Amino acid sequence: FILRIEDTDQERFVEGATEIIYNTMRDTGLKHDEGPDIGGPVGPYVQSDRQKQGIYMEYAKKLIDKGEAYYCFCDQERLNSLKREVNGEEIMTYDKHCLHLSKEEVEANLKAGKPFVIRQNNPTEGKTTFHDEIYGDISVDNSELDDMVLIKSDGFPTYNFANVVDDHLMGITHVVRGNEYLSSAPKYNRIYEAFGWDVPVYVHCPLITDENHKKLSKRCGHSSYEDLLAMGYLSEAVVNYVTLLGWSPRGELAEQEFFTLEELVQAFDITGISKSPAIFDLEKLNYFNSAYLKALSPEAFLAVAEPYLKQGITNPSIDLRLVAPLVQTRLNTLTEIPPMVDFFDRLPEYSNTLYLHKKMKTNEENSLEALQLVVPVFQAMTEWSFQAIHDALLHLAEAQGLKNGRIMWPVRVAVSGKATTPGGAVELCHILGKEETLRRVQQGIRQLTPQA
């Protein structure tokens, strides 16, 4: 497993991007055998370092000697004059103008220091055919093959040329990439064939699109891996879900959804790759993430949830170990935790309409009566445990001849100020503690008491 950093497009180089690659691979468990940080027999593994060694220029000149490439000295003004509009899109097809320069003219231009690029010399007649493992045999009219640039005016190779050279020199046998590169494959093959090199096995994968069927792009605001982690998704859930975009297991595993990375390695087969685009659906990712969160042990969940619990709860007297189990089964993402638990920190302002509950048969009037009954019960308690609170409230309801909900719901609203909470009245009172619970219940009584 070779990690190669492809940084030949200096205009698009982003500071820190290489570190993101290292971090992402480490976090997802993708361990490479060779790379810039490890070394290996076919280094250097950063293309800009390989460019400094003159590797790409050396091979470009070999193509020139074979008549498969040529120097192009056209300036931007002339190139702009070749642009035309096709289906509302502006394209430029080079007209081989500089292919016809004599050897003497080329040498004179080079000696004068005139800027140049090196272009591939593609035929204009016939067809080029290549095989893809997913799409089968594909033929392209050579008249459609533009003379793509191999070496840019800054001396750097283009992405296309650098990859062909490096794939050969590094012994790459299979090229797996997005199907937007299907149209480029014939140009790659002509380079392989010009050198007499073996053409690799091509596997073009379907695009991953958004709900509007647009290709995912960081530049268009779509989420990257690190964005998804920041949004509260677990790395394992992201890996599992993304693997199933455009690929599905075969045979007895066809209905299985949840895989560890090791299981995915064993199950993977190229024949499971689809030809159709896959839609990145956050709802489906939520489903995966929720299942992964639920499956964590209490200790493991607390470890990943603690930073988010602390965002919502700053009061050191609240035991986060008691809060964590209440939210674990209710989450799609970890970022849902802070607003779910912030009432433990401070009681929010709330409307008395929260006390109205059709199923519990509660209203403002009987909720006030319930809270007034609860206060002396809580005040008299010497043990403040889950079981003691539970028993005290149930005994109170029984003694008053009431359904449990007639007591539990008003208490839950009074101590949380919310219509939905992780955990019921007993759990919330236990976590808040006797003093804070009584303070909130008494505040609820004041809020429900009609003003004279």
- Burial per residue of 423-434, b for 16 or more beta-carbon CB atoms within 10 angstroms, e otherwise: bbbbbbbbbbeb
In the residue annotation, 294 being an active-site residue is answered as no
Please state the φ and ψ torsions of residue 2, each to the nearest 5 degrees: -100, 130
Q: How far is CA 161 from CA 193, 298, 368, in A?
A: 13, 52, 78
C-alpha R_g of the chain: 33
Contact call for residues 210 and 279 (beta carbons, < 8 A): yes
- C-alpha to C-alpha distance for 72 and 42, rounded to whole angstroms: 31
- C-alpha to C-alpha distance for 375 and 445, rounded to whole angstroms: 10
Q: Which of 136, 137, 128 is nearest to 186 (CA)?
A: 128
> Taking the chain, what is the end-to-end CA distance rounded to the nearest angstrom?
78
- Burial per residue of 279-291, b for 16 or more beta-carbon CB atoms within 10 angstroms, e otherwise: bbebeebbebbbe
Residue 388, both tokens: 């003691």
Contact call for residues 222 and 248 (beta carbons, < 8 A): no
Q: Which of 381, 393, 373 is nearest to 433 (CA)?
A: 381
Residue 255, both tokens: 């209905």
Residue 256, both tokens: 């299985």
Contact call for residues 2 and 40 (beta carbons, < 8 A): yes
Contact call for residues 155 and 57 (beta carbons, < 8 A): yes
Residue 72, both tokens: 């192009």
Catalytic residue among 31, 214, 218, 361: 218
**Non-local CB neighbours of 28 within 8 Å, separated by 6+ positions:** 225, 235, 238, 239, 261
* DSSP structure string for 151-201: E-TTSPBPHHHHHHHHHHHTT--EEEEEGGGGGGHHHHHHHHHHHTPPPPE
E-strand ranges in 260-380 read 278-279
* Catalytic residue annotation: 218
